[in-house]
Copies of this chain bind each other. A is one copy, B any other.
Amino acid sequence: MSVSADSGISLEELRLAARNHAMPLEALRWPITPAGLHYLLIHYDVPLVEPGSFRLEVGGAVGQTLSLSLDELRARPSVEVAVTMECAGNGRALLEPRPISQPWLTEAVGTARWRGVPLAALLDEVEPAASAADVVFGGLDRGVEAEVEQRYERSLPLAEARGAGCVLAYEMNSAPLLPQHGFPLRLVVPGWYGMTNVKWLSSITVTEEPFAGYQVAHAYRFRRSEDEEGRPVTRMRPRSLMAPPGIPDFFTRDRVVAGGAPVVLEGRAWSGKAPIVRVEVSDDAGASWAEGDLVHDLRDPFAWSGWSFRWEPASPGPYTLCCRATDGTGEAQPLEPEWNLGGYENNAVQRVPVVVR
- Which one of A8-16, A201-209, A287-295, A334-342 contacts B? A8-16
Q: Are A19 and B18 in contact (CB under 8 A)?
A: no
Query: Do A24 and B6 form a contact, CB below 8 Å, given A15-B105, A37-B180, A142-B247?
Result: no
Residues of B within 8 A of A42 (CB): 24
Which residues of chain A (46-64) have a CB below 8 Å from chain B? 46, 48
Query: Do A250 and B44 form a contact, CB below 8 Å, given A19-B24, A21-B21?
Result: yes
Q: What is the bound-complex CA distance between A13 and B13, given in angstroms?
A: 12
- Please encode chain A, from 1 to 40, with 1 for each CB lying within 8 Å of some chain B CB and 0 for all others: 0000011111111111111011011110110001111101
Residues of B within 8 A of A15 (CB): 105, 253
**What's the number of copies of this chain in the assembled complex?**
2
Quote the shortest CB–CB distance from A156 to chain B (angstroms): 22
Quote the shortest CB–CB distance from A261 to chain B (angstroms): 17
Q: What is the bound-complex CA distance between A130 and B252, given in angstroms?
A: 42
Interface residues of chain A, those whose CB is within 8 Å of chain B, are: 6-19, 21-22, 24-27, 29-30, 34-38, 40, 42-46, 48, 93, 100-101, 103-105, 107, 142-145, 149, 178-181, 244, 247-254, 256
What are 28 contact pairs spanning A and B, CB under 8 A? A8-B8, A8-B10, A15-B253, A17-B18, A18-B104, A19-B24, A19-B25, A19-B107, A21-B36, A24-B42, A24-B180, A27-B46, A27-B179, A29-B48, A30-B179, A34-B178, A35-B35, A35-B178, A36-B36, A44-B248, A44-B250, A45-B247, A143-B247, A144-B250, A145-B249, A145-B251, A149-B247, A149-B256
